[in-house]
Amino acid sequence: MDNANNGGYDTRPPGPPVPIPQPAAPRKRTGWRIFWGVVLTLSILANVFLLFVVLAVVSLFVAGSGDVFESRRDGFAEEVLVRGPAYQKIAVIRIEGIIDGVQSERFRKQLRIAANDENVHAVIVRTLTPGGTIAGSDQIHHEITKFRKQTGKPIVAFMQSVAASGGYYTSVACDTIVAEPTVITGSIGVIMNSLVIKELLEDKLGIQPITIKSGPRKDWPSMFTEVTEEQKQYLFDKIISPAYERFVSIVDEGREGLSEQQVRQLADGSIFAAEEARENGLVDEIGYFEDVVRITEQLAGIRDAKVVEYTRLFSLTALFGGMQSGTAGPWQTHRDALHELTMPQLMYLWEGR
């Protein structure tokens, strides 16, 4: 049937709708984004490297200047504290903060520089520490004793602020001990701390620790069990008492004016102010830095000495080495931190707050 028979209308069913053309989406500039990302990354890396170079150059420039630093040796520079002739020097070495293996090794290196420098006639050990590990304190004491025997150069301990426990342990190795008027010293004794987290694990977290050991004393003291009186006595006999006896003998040997009995009376962990320490024979003199220099000059038989303090130089190698040392995974880092926190620490340390 044509359109004429239907009044001129098209009665055929409508066909599918004709799609309307859509404008093309703009192309993503992925290539440019990648390009600029690479450029930005390279720019950041270049700036970081440039910063390290600038720091190194500035450090070398300062270390080489005659105004403040002189004579670079073994990664250390000499900071001039008091001017004088270069052929008669007094070297100052610091013991500062908690004594540990790192500090004892740094001290050993600096003392070796002083021993090998024929222009150094004496050493001042500037001590500002509440003490630290038994091993670190004993290593420094040993180095001072060896220095005195091998070189014959006098070495003077200068106590400032706090020089207690391990700080006093190292000082008694010196020829003379001078304390500032406000110093806190003494604290002759041993301390060991240990955590017990049994109730926290079992009652609060629902964790049941399991320990398998070859003998009953293998894990004493354990943070997973209550410490019994038997365990305390065992630890006291095995480690506390020997460490205490060594401390007493070191003080008795280093302080000729004190008998062993007098040392034991003082070695109950008590702290002493400067004047009280002098009255009890623990220190020889009370004074300030200029007094220490004068006393050291008298012991060395020199006058108007040049006083220098060893200062660690900036090093890109040490910087990158330090960065690389921290490349361990987070699990290893957290595990080491947990072990350090929970491991019993036997210390020559004054823990006053």
Q: Which residues are catalytic?
A: 165, 218
- Show the beta-strand stretches assigned E in 130-172: 131-133, 155-164
Separation CA 247–CA 267 (nearest Å): 9
Enter the tokens of residue 118.
């024929």
Distance of CA 222 to the CA centre of its chain: 27
C-alpha distances (whole Å) from 201 to each of 9, 50, 212, 339 are: 89, 50, 18, 16
Q: What is the dihedral of CA 240, 241, 242, 244, to 10 degrees?
A: 80
* Cα(62)–Cα(64) distance, integer angstroms: 5
Q: How far, in whole angstroms, is CA 349 from its chain's centroid?
A: 15
